[in-house]
Amino acid sequence: MHPYINQMIKTGGKNKVQHQMKKKDLIEQLKAKAQNADRKSPIDQNIRNQDSLEGKQEDNRGLKKHIKNLENKMSGQEQKLQAFRAKSSKVEIENKALRSNLYEVSTELNNEKKASLDRQSQLDKLTQKCKDLEETNAAQSVQMEKLKQELSRVQSLANSNGPYKLRDSLHRLQKENQALLRELQIEREFRMDQDQLSLLKHTIRTQAANLQQLKNSNSGMISEASIQELFDALRTRLVLAKPSHRAMLLDLYNRLKRIKSRFHEAPGFGQPSSSKEMYGYIIKTGKDLHFYNLENGVYKVCPGEGVYEPDLPVKVKMIHEHEVSIVKQYSYHFVPSTSISVRVRQKIQLTENTIVPIHSTGIRVLVIGSRNRSKYTKLLKECGFYVDWYDGYEESPEALKSKRNNVQVVIICTGHSPHFVYDLFEPDDPRVEKVYRENANSIYHRIRYNGIRQGLL
């Protein structure tokens, strides 16, 4: 606030205090006169009271005038005070504007200082880069001088007896390169031999297990002649109209075929051609044979010179678009009979692309994927498999570790399975089948193929 305004406020306060003091003095004087008048006679007292009353009235009139004058002065002082307050408010507004301008100027100065510091740091960095470039240029110039000296030395050698020395050095470098290439080739062959050795060890273990299984099965098996006699006797006595009797007969027939098979491979009678080879199995539909590959394809088998058994894996070659010729048929791993049922299944009208489901019992299958769960499990259960499912995006790896030990075939749908699934299985695990573009039929055929390869079917 302006100092002149403060002074006016102080003087106004002093005048009020003086006026109040004068009022107090007059009141005390009147009280003293009244006490003195009580001591004298009543007549004198009345006269004096009248005189004093008149005097007091005159004094009151004078005091009223004085009070009016003081009030007029106070009103003038208040008007001046209001004027000074208005001026002080204007001055305060101007001071605020000046302070804001001062703050803006100070902020601009600080920003300019920071910008100057940034420019100085950038300038220092540029100078340092220039120094580094000068040092690198100096080093490169030194290296260029060395290269020039080396080139001049090589030219001098070339002008004198240099070609012979260069030829010797080149021949020596070629020998060293050949030695390095030989070492690399040996290392590559060693790694390939290690891989083949691991595969051979696995095949040896599987063959030993199969051999032990065959020994155990042959120990409790009756002779071939007795089985043949039993088969003929049951064939004459069974009523083939019943599904259960047909299933029992088919089971005995497959068991007889297992006993009669003595070789791992039986050569086919089809003519080889230059077309692609495929692997799968054949199914007999009426008098014709149809070939099913692993990619959900169905082909008609051309009649040949040999006699082929259904439900056995084969190797074929393409002859036409929908016809194949059998090159080789494998005479082991026969398909077991269908489960005994009390109802007769409806016959299926076969077409070129019809897939006849072959029912297989006793195989425990684990399917790893995240799509079409109900569809795949329903079809596989209808075909006689014990199906378990694992979704890698919703279940933990510990669940897969507990499930993988209780199954015989593992199907991995690679299109919708996480990568950690592959780390939980051995690379040469014979149970694992990876399906890239899966559907229900391709999964079904891949399970059957793996079961035939492991000897489960």
Q: Which tokens go with 59?
A: 């004094």
Helix spans in 220-304 (H): 224-237, 243-260
Mean pLDDT of the 405-415 span? 91
Least confident of 113-117, 293-297, 344-348, 401-405: 344-348
* CA pair distance 170, 175, nearest whole angstrom: 9
Least confident of 95-104, 196-205, 433-442: 196-205
Q: Read off the DSSP letter of residue 326.
A: E
- Which range, 107-121, 229-243, 278-292, 416-430, is most confident? 416-430
Instruction: Please tell me the predicted confidence (pLDDT) of residue 10.
Output: 67
* CA pair distance 436, 65, nearest whole angstrom: 118
Q: Please state whether 296 falls in left (phi above 0), alpha (psi between -120 and 50) or beta.
A: left
How far is the CA of 105 from the CAs of 72, 102, 108, 168, in angstroms? 49, 5, 5, 81
Rounded percentage of the chain residues whose pLDDT exceeds 90: 5
Rounded percentage of the chain residues whose pLDDT exceeds 70: 65
Instruction: Please tell me the predicted confidence (pLDDT) of residue 353.
Output: 40
* CA pair distance 55, 60, nearest whole angstrom: 8
Whether the CB-CB separation of 408 and 363 falls below 8 Å is answered with: yes
Q: What is the pLDDT of residues 145-162, one digit of tens each?
A: 887 787 777 666 656 555
Q: What is the pLDDT of residues 304-335, one digit of tens each?
A: 756 777 767 788 888 888 888 888 877 544 43
Q: What average pLDDT is seen over the chain?
A: 74
Q: Taking Cα atoms as reference points, which of 336, 334, 317, 321 lies closest to residue 268?
A: 317
Mean pLDDT of the 64-83 span? 84
Given a cut of 80, is residue 102 above it in pLDDT? yes
Burial tier of 257 (Cβ tally within 10 Å: 0-12, 13-18, 19+): middle
Q: What is the pLDDT of residues 230-269, one digit of tens each?
A: 556 555 555 555 555 666 666 666 666 666 554 344 444 4
Instruction: Please tell me the predicted confidence (pLDDT) of residue 355.
Output: 42
